[in-house]
């Protein structure tokens, strides 16, 4: 499977940004964690990474993934999770299975706004609160979902 791992605003400095909340490990740890979680199954997965601080660039990248025939998306939309109708509208039509990811447990954070997700209704599920491991668990969930869809 080809899986796009898409990161939104302020996730380019992962590992450096507020490590008490988001951890001190960067995205470069994700392939190794996917290997740990999927074991031999990891060989059937090709990850593509993209990060942007801009809402439009994220939507452009999702449209490109659709054109390219990417199988699914693991998406940490950062703060756009809680604000972006535009990103939600994109997920609503592109027809790519998507898992929503958060490093932190957004439901346990103090700002009530973080408990609202605009994209939530357009994703197959959510993984939140496991730090960088959230991405690997999301890839695993997406692979199981894609496997179950095979005829």
State yes or no: is 22 an active-site residue. Answer: yes
Judged by CB under 6 A, does residue 118 bind ligand DQA? no
CA 148, chain centre distance (Å): 20
Q: Is 82 annotated among the ligand-binding residues?
A: yes
Q: Which of residues 77-106 bind ligand DQA (CB under 6 A)?
A: 78-79, 81, 102-104, 106
* Residue 87 in marked binding region: no
DSSP letter at 91? H
Nearest to ligand DQA of 114, 122 (CB atom):
114
114 near ligand DQA (CB under 6 A): yes
CB closer to ligand DQA, 79 vs 124? 79
Number of H helices, E strands in the chain: 5, 5
3-state secondary structure of 118: coil
Q: Is there a contact between 83 and 38 (Cβ–Cβ < 8 Å)? A: no
- C-alpha dist (Å) from residue 52 to 7, 8, 74, 111, 142: 7, 5, 14, 24, 22
The site for ligand DQA (CB under 6 A) is made up of: 10, 76, 78-79, 81, 102-104, 106, 114
Residues identified as active-site = 22, 102
Tell me the binding residues for substrate. 76, 82, 89, 103-104, 114
């Amino acid at each position: 499977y080809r899986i796009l791992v898409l990161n939104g605003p302020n996730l380019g400095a992962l590992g450096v940004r507020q490590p008490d909340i988001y951890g001190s490990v960067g995205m470069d740890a994700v392939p190794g964690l996917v290997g740990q979680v999927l074991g031999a199954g990891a060989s059937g997965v090709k990850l593509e990474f993209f990060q942007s601080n801009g809402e439009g660039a994220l939507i452009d990248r999702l449209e490109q993934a659709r054109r390219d025939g990417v199988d699914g998306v693991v998406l940490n939309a950062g703060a756009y999770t809680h604000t972006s109708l535009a990103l939600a509208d994109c997920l609503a039509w592109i027809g790519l299975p998507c898992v929503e990811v958060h490093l932190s447990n957004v439901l346990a954070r103090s700002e009530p706004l973080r408990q609202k997700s605009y994209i939530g209704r357009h994703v197959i599920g959510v993984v939140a609160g496991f730090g960088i491991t959230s991405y690997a668990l999301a890839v695993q969930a997406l692979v199981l979902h894609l496997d179950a869809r095979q005829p």
